[in-house]
Structure 1
Amino acid sequence: MSVDNSRARPSTHPVRVRGRDDLAGDGAGARKADGDLSARPVRRRPKNRRAQIAAAAANAFGSLGYHGVSMEDIAGGLGISSAALYRHYPSKYALFQEESLRVGQAMAESVRLPAEAQSWNPQQRLREILESLSAVTVANRASVTLVRWEGRYLEPADREIRAEQQTAVLDALEEQLAAYSPDLGNGDRKVLAISVLSTITSIADHHAALPTKALVALLVSTCFALADTTLPAPVDIPPAPPVEIPESFKHELLLRKGVELFHARGYPNVSVEDIATAAGLSAASAVYRFYRGKSDLLTAAFRRAAERVSSAIGPAVASAAGPREALDSLVEQYVAGSFAERELTFVYYTEFQHVPAEERAALRNVQRLSVDEWARLVRQVRPDLSAPQARFLVHAAFALVVDLGRSFGTVAIASQQRVTLLMQTVLYGRPTES
């Protein structure tokens, strides 16, 4: 898989805020040595300090993950002391919880139609919630990563609130999709609602930039293309039996077990001892014969996934009659690979920040080249798109696969044929022939 997974954060510079120790004087102004009053104005703590802290924390959590950020990191980014930060928030978790639930609530409120919408036709109502949800997501892009990928670190009561917010958004989308396309079955509505939400929130997964108005228009038009898609009948294909790894290939077994544990618990909550036990090794020291540590294991998994996607591009282009055929081939390979390694597909989005910095840089280069090549093919099929628009669509198509996978697993309503069609629809902007 290939995604610019450095986490979507608008390019911002740390905000320099003067701390309490920087304030001049005792309220009447600092005195010069000769006793005269200084002309310097009194510097006061900004009234929006709490909002500044929340924004800085969202950027930090999104870039480095909840476990990769300390209160000192956040304070340093703002140019204030840790003590000043603790006056506003008692803990890192309080910051994380408040911002996660705030954004979740903003998204839930965005899909509530105004009273006058009762007189609108189904297309107008669907457009209203798509535009509103897109606008809120764009406005909170720096924080949407928290609700997409970091929710597992919320405490149980807060996870329940977050789940209710997500359900409110999906229920509203399903309701409007049902009115817009009355023939949609219940399973199809669920698949399309997840696809629409994934497309909109995928902007949190990368750094591509577009003006707000143009970005909202692109997201809404792509969502309407998804809403117009006629899905093929679901086919219940049993999952392929797991491949048995020979005893002599312990490094492969460790790789698989490590990724499974990272998927189930989150990377920070998995130890080398856990991986050794899952692989049937008697001691953690046995892991170090193959990997320097769990971050080395994670890097190996990511490198293999990135190379799998990047290495497919050349042969697909060389053997295709044109860009559309090449893209279709790449889409089919991407979906098949993601279905074969669902856990890695999810972990790739959630745990990238735990790869060592030097490896992250190399992986990002591979990822960006892959995205650029996909975007180049998309523009050959759709010359009306700009390069940034094409990159947004490629990222949205990648995100759709992982979001459908984590929502439905191997359930037939999200079969490979259906996911392939939806991915093509995101890229081509209209339903394709099934």
Structure 2
Amino acid sequence: MSVDNRRVRSSAPPVRANGRDEPGNDAAGKNENAAVSRPVRRRPKNRRAQIAAAAANAFGSLGYHSVSMEDIAGGLGISSAALYRHYPSKYALFQEESLRVGQAMAESVRLPDEAAGLPPRQQFQQVLESLSAVTVANRASVTLVRWEGRYLEPADREIRAEQQTVVLDALEGRLAAYSPDLSNSDRKVLAISLLSVITSIADHHAALPTKALVTLLVSTCFALADTALPAPGDIEPTPQVEIPESFKHELLLRKGVELFHARGYPNVSVEDIATAAGLSAASAVYRFYRGKSDLLTAAFRRAAERVSSAIGPAVAAAGGPREALDSLVEQYVAGSFAERELTFVYYTEFQHVPPEERAALRNVQRLSVDEWARLVRQVRPELSGPQARFLVHSAFALVVDLGRSFGTVPIASRQRVTLLMQTVLYGHPAGN
């Protein structure tokens, strides 16, 4: 019998003692009803996985140093104490998710036993599809693998490097079977290019259905694999522009970018920048910049404007979209070679730009990508808008990844990087 039924049948007045309702009266019945109807909250069985996913999204969007355990707990609607029951620290979360994704990618490039008898092209395709599928499934966390790995502790960084080696060795092995005439150095360049295209999806928020995205990534990788690279040429050293003593703001900008590139933005102080620029005190920096975030913003504006300002003149001077794209590619590669540190920092430190500046910079970047994508679609009308944007982002990332992998080694000369970037955009080696 329910509590409500007992109350309805009883006509006795409520019993009071010292003016208070006793158990069995109306107030007590209401309390009992509330207790009966209140849902029992149970801890989700997959809470640890939910925490890992939330942390990956937060780290990917804001960077490891900009996220706190309170931020992650708040996003899940739980207390910090509940979060600490699963993970003892923010680093434990970061380490586990980084190495988990790295291991998933390493496992994805191992061919199953039943694929041993397949032709080289089918084996290659199977590896590319598997790696692409894992990358798409872990898109938020792949950012940790691409850009945040330098914040791992040395032992964990070594594990992550081993995982990366497994992936690159597998890609080189499939390339060797697919194109036996490739030299060892060419295989290394192409393997980095393939991995760059696939993991570049972590650098932006453009959307495509999973199947369509995997198909696009794999077809782009085959276009790169079919590229006949020109002979390695000598890389002409980029002349270092001397900055006059009176241009302290420019010197501070250069030294700041160099330090952000070498150490990561969170590990650089205003004092470090002042010392690198030959200034006697950190206070001298504030005559030119309000702080290191202001300096970082100035660097980002320069990088964004370098890309956006080239579009109009290139289109106006070109006889068609293909010619305009070729011009833009050459300018982009030249600018990246001239300012390698700035190009890298532009990809790794965006989350540290002040929020009020971030929106404006994102808008400039979006408009630039849209203009490049419009030209790509004029050359390749079979592509959709999202597909073209994915390819533009992949082409940009390719230049950055080749630069940080090979630096000034001749096997990654401007001519080669330009050809590979064109291949990503056109879907086949340029000239074919």
Q: Could you say which TM-score interval applies, normalised by the shorter chain?
A: over 0.9
1:195-206 paired onto structure 2 within 5 Å: 195-206=193-204
Are 2:86 and 1:88 equivalent residues in the alignment? yes
Matched, 1:71 2:56: no
Partner of 2:361: 363
Residues 23-62 of structure 1, C-alpha deviations (whole Å, 9 max, x = no match): xxxxxxx985257861444220000000000000000000
The equivalent of 2:13 in structure 1 is none
> Over aligned residue pairs, what C-alpha RMSD do you find?
1.3
1:129 partner letter: V
**CA–CA distance in structure 1, aligned partners of residues 227 and 326 of structure 2:** 17
Alignment of 1:178-257 (within 5 A): 178-257=176-255
Residue type of the alignment partner of 2:168: L
Match of residue 260 from structure 1: 258
Name the structure 2 match of 1:433.
431
Provide the C-alpha distance between the structure 2 equivalents of 1:410 and 1:279, rounded to a whole number of angstroms: 25
Name the CA distance, whole Å, in 2 between partners of 1:119 and 1:36: 67
| Alignment correspondent of 2:142 | 144
- CA shift for structure 1 position 244: 1.1
Any stretches of 5+ residues in structure 2 without a counterpart?
Answer: 1-27
| Aligned match of 1:421 | 419
State the one-letter code of the partner of 2:403.
Answer: G
Shift of 1:228: 0.3
Q: 1:275 aligns with which of 273, 276, 281?
A: 273
Instruction: Indicate how the Cα distance of structure 1 residues 225 and 36 shifts in structure 2: closer, same or farther if over 3 A, else same.
Output: closer
Q: Distance in 2 between matches of 1:363 and 1:397?
A: 20
1:156 CA displacement = 0.1
**Matching residue within 367, 375, 400 for 2:398:** 400
Matches of residues 317-336 of structure 1 in structure 2 within 5 Å? 317-336=315-334
Residue 237 of structure 1: how far off its partner (Å): 2.3
Q: 1:102 deviation in Å?
A: 0.1
Max Rg structure: 2
Distance 2:85 2:401 in 1: 38
CA deviation profile, 1:369-410 (whole Å, cap 9, x unmatched): 000000000000000000000000000000000000000001
Q: How many residues align?
A: 405
Q: What amino acid maps onto 2:352 in structure 1?
A: H
Aligned counterparts of 2:62 and 2:41: Cα–Cα separation in 1 = 32
TM-score by length of 1: 0.92
Measured against aligned partners, the alpha-carbon deviations of 1:170-205 in whole angstroms (never above 9, x if no partner) come to 000000001100010011000000000000000000
- In 2, the alpha carbon distance for the partners of 1:396 and 1:240 equals 25
Shift, 1:66, TM fit: 0.3
What is the aligned partner in structure 1 of residue 15 from structure 2? Answer: none
Partner of residue 17, structure 1? none
- Return the alpha-carbon distance in structure 2 between the equivalents of residues 253 and 97 of structure 1: 36
Query: How is 1:373-384 mapped onto 2 (pairs within 5 angstroms)?
Result: 373-384=371-382
- Per-residue CA deviation, residues 196-250 of structure 1 (Å, 9 max, x unaligned), is 0000000000000000000000000000000000000010123123111111111
Task: Report the residue type matching 1:230 in the other structure.
Answer: A
Percent of aligned positions that are identical: 89
Distance 2:164 2:29 in 1: 57
State the match for 2:58 in structure 1. Answer: 60
With over 3 angstroms needed to count, the CA separation of the structure-2 counterparts of 1:342 and 1:35, relative to structure 1, is closer
Distance in 2 separating the partners of 1:135 and 1:357: 33
Distance 2:337 2:312 in 1: 22
Contact kept? 2:235, 2:414, Cα under 8 Å: no
- Equivalent in 302, 322, 335 of residue 300 of structure 2: 302
**For 1:284, which of 276, 282, 285 is the aligned residue?**
282
Compared CA separation, residues 350 and 33, structure 1 to 2 (3 A): same
